[in-house]
């Protein structure tokens, strides 16, 4: 069926995933003890534990790796047939986060749902993938009309608004930005007019950002970003980013050592999730972090290369969308940890704690691996056909 697996992409993905598991084992000990102590007080658990988040992350990794294996062997053209129903299903799940009894109610945003005994999921993570599928089939069907206003821009803007407004209502600033970036980049590489690209992104921002900014805590994040030196802000709404910068600065060139972070002991909120990059900087230091950032860079380069080598337009658009998703989310997460952007709630792909995020990311990489395998197979078959034709011509 396939002749060769993309070992570079696979190897980097697996290394980053298990590195993330190792970092969660280190930085989540205090938070694990705190949450299990509350469970003991409620009579749900007998003794506190330092490995609450580690074991949950281990289960996430096992499930996500199995899912990646499945998407790596399922022919990627199958997603072309399933794109519309999958996109519709994720939109319905997004609506579900606003329904009492289904909404899981974690954190400040209405982003999670729980149905029956199924573990809670974050539909916006899977919307990123299904939006890519849907846009890919839509863009390839309108290849000659994408640059037009009526057949290109209007339908594109409608799909973009449909996906982003539901996320804005949660509100989920991070997913809103990632979804917008995915759609705009895919539209542009498919042949979209640059004016339409800018206009589409602008309309999404004008429609979505005011909805997101209605929440006081979102406005506070922007205040903390714009006025970081204000003492009143730094000790209240800016506390999280202040502690993140302390962690990054404490790491220096070589880090304080694995497992020796100070900020993880209740000083840095969400240390195992959104802010894990800061804890990594504290423990590993600048030089070791460069290795991790370099691995992300190679993964992103390889993803776009797979898109360029894809056997068909659908594969090209899907690979481009997936790679843009990983690239933008990585850049935004690191930017937030370095106070280059307001807090967004986005995870660091493959590394942060978060079952939905890890599952969606590894499924997406599995699809990239499948596209790459088909590219190798098609190239090999084309070479064989050319050699056979030359032999026949010389007879």
Q: Report whether 362 contacts 224 (CB < 8 A).
A: no
Q: Which residues pair with 121 in a beta bridge?
A: 113
Placement of tokens 């129903």 in the chain: 85
- Check residue 98 and give its pLDDT: 85
The verdict on whether omega for the bond into residue 5 sits within 30 degrees of 0, i.e. cis, is no
Alpha carbon distance 79, 75 (integer Å): 8
Alpha carbon distance 319, 306 (integer Å): 7
- Check residue 106 and give its pLDDT: 60
Q: Which tokens in the block code for residue 343?
A: 């807090």
CB atoms within 10 A of CB 55: 12
- Check residue 380 and give its pLDDT: 46
Work out the burial of residue 176: count CB atoms within 10 Å of its CB; fewer than 13 is exposed, 13-18 middle, 19 or more buried.
Answer: buried
User: Read out DSSP for 18-50?
Assistant: HHHHHHHHHHTHHHHHHHHHHHHHTTS-SS--S
Q: Which tokens in the block code for residue 277?
A: 């990059």
**Per-residue pLDDT tens listing for the chain (395 residues):** 344 678 999 999 999 999 999 999 999 999 999 999 988 888 888 888 889 999 999 999 999 999 999 999 999 999 999 999 999 999 999 988 888 777 766 655 667 887 766 778 899 999 999 999 999 999 998 877 887 888 888 988 898 898 899 999 888 899 999 999 999 999 999 988 888 888 888 888 898 889 888 888 888 888 888 887 777 777 777 888 889 999 999 999 999 999 999 988 888 888 999 999 999 999 999 999 999 999 999 999 999 999 999 999 999 999 999 999 999 999 999 999 999 999 888 999 999 999 999 999 999 999 999 999 987 655 545 444 544 444 555 55
Q: Report whether 57 contacts 21 (CB < 8 A).
A: yes
Alpha carbon distance 282, 232 (integer Å): 25
CB atoms within 10 A of CB 254: 11
Q: What is the dihedral of CA 123, 128, 129, 133, to 10 degrees?
A: 120
- Check residue 102 and give its pLDDT: 77
* Cα angle, residue 127 at apex, residues 123 and 132 outer, rounded to 5°: 165
CB atoms within 10 A of CB 311: 18
Residue 327, SS3? Answer: helix
Alpha carbon distance 271, 369 (integer Å): 31
Q: Where are the alpha helices (DSSP H) in 119-238?
A: 123-141, 154-168, 173-189, 194-212, 216-226, 231-234
Q: Which 8-state DSSP code applies to residue 102?
A: T
Q: Which tokens in the block code for residue 247?
A: 């962690």
Can you give the length of the chain in residues? 395
Q: Which secondary-structure segment (H or E) carries 150?
A: none
Alpha carbon distance 178, 329 (integer Å): 6
Alpha carbon distance 17, 90 (integer Å): 25
Alpha carbon distance 16, 22 (integer Å): 10
Q: Report whether 329 contacts 346 (CB < 8 A).
A: yes
Alpha carbon distance 246, 266 (integer Å): 13
Rounded to the nearest 5 percent, the helix, strand and coil shares of the chain are 70, 0, 30
Alpha carbon distance 313, 130 (integer Å): 17
- Check residue 91 and give its pLDDT: 93
Q: Report whether 299 contacts 363 (CB < 8 A).
A: no
């Amino acid at each position: 069926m396939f002749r060769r697996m993309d070992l570079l992409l696979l190897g980097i993905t697996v290394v980053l995933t298990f590195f993330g598991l190792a970092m969660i084992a280190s930085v989540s000990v205090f938070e694990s003890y705190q949450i299990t102590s509350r469970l003991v007080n409620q009579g749900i658990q007998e003794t506190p534990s330092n490995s609450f988040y580690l074991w949950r992350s281990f289960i996430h990794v096992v499930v996500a790796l199995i899912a990646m294996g499945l998407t790596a062997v399922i022919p990627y053209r199958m997603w072309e047939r399933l794109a519309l129903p999958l996109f519709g299903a994720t939109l319905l799940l997004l609506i579900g986060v606003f329904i009492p009894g289904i909404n899981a109610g974690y954190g400040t945003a209405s982003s999670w749902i729980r149905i029956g005994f199924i573990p809670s999921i974050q539909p916006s993570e899977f919307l990123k993938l299904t939006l890519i599928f849907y846009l890919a089939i839509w863009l390839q069907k309108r290849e000659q009309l994408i640059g037009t206003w009526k057949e290109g821009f209007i339908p594109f803007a409608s799909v973009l608004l449909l996906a982003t407004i539901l996320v804005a209502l949660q509100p989920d600033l991070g997913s809103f930005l990632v979804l917008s970036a995915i759609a705009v980049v895919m539209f542009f590489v498919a042949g979209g007019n640059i004016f339409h690209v800018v206009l589409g992104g602008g309309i999404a921002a004008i429609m979505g950002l005011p909805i997101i900014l209605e929440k006081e805590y979102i406005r506070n994040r922007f205040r903390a970003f714009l006025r970081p030196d204000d003492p009143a802000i730094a000790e209240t709404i800016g506390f999280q980013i202040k502690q993140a910068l302390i962690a990054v600065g404490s790491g220096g060139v070589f880090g304080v050592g694995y497992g020796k972070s100070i900020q993880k002991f209740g000083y840095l909120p969400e240390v195992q999730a959104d802010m894990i990059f800061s804890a990594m900087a504290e423990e590993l230091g600048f030089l070791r972090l460069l290795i991790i950032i370099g691995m992300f860079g190679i993964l992103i380069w390889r993803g776009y290369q797979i898109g360029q080598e894809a056997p068909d337009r659908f594969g090209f658009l899907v690979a481009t969308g997936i790679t843009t998703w990983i690239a933008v989310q990585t850049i935004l997460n690191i930017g937030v940890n370095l106070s280059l952007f307001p807090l967004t709630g986005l995870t660091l792909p493959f590394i942060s704690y978060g079952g939905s995020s890890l599952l969606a990311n590894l499924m997406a990489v599995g699809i990239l691996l499948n596209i790459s395998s088909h590219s190798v197979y098609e190239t090999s078959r084309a070479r064989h056909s050319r050699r056979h034709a030359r032999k026949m011509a010389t007879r």
